[in-house]
Amino acid sequence: MSALQQYLVLFALLIGAIGLTLSLYAFARALGRTREEAGKNVPATSGRLSVEPAWVRYHAHYLGYALLFLAFDMEMAYMYPWAVVFKEEGLVALLDMGVFLAILFLGLLYGWSQGALRRH
Amino acid sequence: MNAVLLGLGLLAGIYAVALLEDRLTRGSFAPAAPLLAGIALLARESVVARKPDRLLFETAPVLLLSAGLLAAAVLPLSPTLVLVDLASGALFVNAALAYVLVALLMAGWGPDGAYAMVAGWRFLGQVIAYSMLIVMPITAVAIRAESLLTTVIVVSQEGWWNIFYQPLGFVLFYIASLAVCFLPPFDRPIAAGELAAGVEAEYTGARLAVLRLGRMVLVVSLAAATTVFYLGGWQGPWLPPWAWGATKVLAVAASMLLAGYYLPRLREEQLLAWCWKLGIPLALLNIFVVGVMVLAGL
C-alpha cells in the first residue's frame, strides 16, 4: 500500500466511526423519542437550578506547567526524526540532542526555581 | 479480509474489557451484561442540555471514538494482521491520542453545565501532566527500533523485550496510559462520586453509549500500544502470533483495570507535580540510557 492509500484507509475508518455513531443514534430514535418536558434539560447541579451560563472565565491554576508544556511539546517534534536516525549517526546524535535536552532541562529547573511548578 | 478480522478482534476485545470491568469493579459476572447495558442506554431518552454549544456537544462522543479507533488502526496484532502499517506509526498513535483531550474538553464545554466544565478543565490539567510521559518513552522505543513502523518496533524486541530493555520507560508509559483512558486512579474527569460524573454529566442515552464505547476502544488501544511498544507484540513460543498478541492485549487491559485498586487517586495538581518534577526527568534519563545502550551495541 502506498502512503496515500494508507491515509485513505484511515480516512475511511474516520467516516466509518461517524457512520457507526449515526446508525446507533438512528437505532435509538427508532426505539423511542425524547419527550419534551419542562425542567428536564437543566444541567445537573445537585437539585438546585443551575446559574446560567456556566461559560465563565476558568482559573487554570496550572498555567506555569502549561507554558513549560509548550516548550517541551515543540521539542518532541524534533525528537522523532532524530530517534529514527540515531543509530546511524552514532555518538554525534547523542551529543547533539544531549546538549539540546540539557538546555531544555535547565529551563525546567529554572522554571521550578521560579515557582512555575506549583498551583497558582 | 484483514480489516474484517481486525474489526472482529477489536469488538471481542471491547466486549472482554467491558466484562472484565464489570467483574473487577462490581464483582458480578454476567456474560450478557455489557450487551444489555448497551441496549438499555440506547433505549433511554437522550436529553440535550438547555443551551448547549451544539456542535461541540455532538462532536465529543464521536471524536473520542474516532481517536481510539485511529490509534488502534496502526497497531499490529500479528505480522500480517495490521490495518495500516504506517511509516510514521508510532507518531500517529500520539497524534490520535491527542484528540482524546479535544473530545473531553468539548464534552466539558459543550453542554454549558458547571460540573461538566470543571471536569473538562481538569482533564486538560491531567493532559499537561501525562502527555510528555507518552511521547518521551515512545522516542526511546523508536531509538532502539530505528523506525517508527510499529511492525519493525515489535521485530526489534526479538529476544529482549522492551519491558526488560527499558523498564523505566515501560513504567512511565504504563502510568501515563492509565491517565489517557481516565481509568482509576486518574478518573477525576468523569469524577466518580463527585461532580455528578463530570464530563459525562450531561450525556444520556445514545450519546452516552457512544462516549462509553469510545472509552472502551481507548482502553483496548492503549493496551495494544503497551503490548506493541514494550511486550514484544506477537512474539512468544508455541501459540500462533495472533493468539499471543490478543492474550497480551487482554492481560494488559486487565491489569490497567485492576491498577485502580492499588494506586491512590491524585488531584490534577498533585499529578502535575509528580509528572513534571519526577516523571519528566526520569523520561529524559530513560532516553539517555537507551541511547548509550544502543551505541554500546547492547
pLDDT digits (tens, 9 = 90+) for A35-60: 888 777 777 777 677 676 777 777 88
Round to whole Å and give the CA distance between B109 and B104.
Answer: 9
Residues above pLDDT 90, as percent of chain B: 26
Nearest to A10 among B84, B129, B287 (CB): B84
ipTM associated with this complex: 0.87
Q: Are A62 and B125 in contact (CB under 8 A)?
A: yes
From CA B144, how far away is CA B112, in angstroms rounded? 47
The alpha-helical segments, DSSP class H, found in chain B are 2-26, 33-43, 54-73, 89-109, 114-145, 150-155, 162-165, 167-180, 205-230, 241-262, 268-274, 280-295
Quick one: DSSP state of residue A44? P
List chain B residues with CB under 8 Å of A18: 62, 66
Average pLDDT over residues B273-286: 91
CB atoms within 10 A of CB A62: 27
Q: CB–CB of B211/B106 below 8 Å?
A: no
Distance CA A75, CA B126 (A): 20
A120 touches chain B (CB under 8 A): no
pLDDT tens column, B96-146: 998 998 999 898 888 888 888 888 888 888 889 998 999 999 999 999 888
Q: For chain A, give the mean pLDDT.
A: 85
pLDDT-based confidence at residue B223 (cuts at 50, 70, 90): very high
Contact across the interface for A43 and B49, Cβ inside 8 Å: yes
Which chain B positions have a beta carbon within 8 Å of A86's beta carbon? 143, 146, 291, 294
Grid-cell match 516548550, residue found:
A71
A89-104: average pLDDT = 86
Indicate the number of domains in chain B.
1
Reported residue count of chain A is 120
Which pLDDT value is given to residue A52?
67
**Confidence grade of residue A15 (pLDDT, cut at 50, 70, 90):** very high
Q: For residues B51-74, give the mean pLDDT.
A: 90
pLDDT at position B64, please? Answer: 93
Identify the domain containing residue B271 by its residue range: 2-295
Quick check: B284 and A103 in contact, CB under 8 A? no
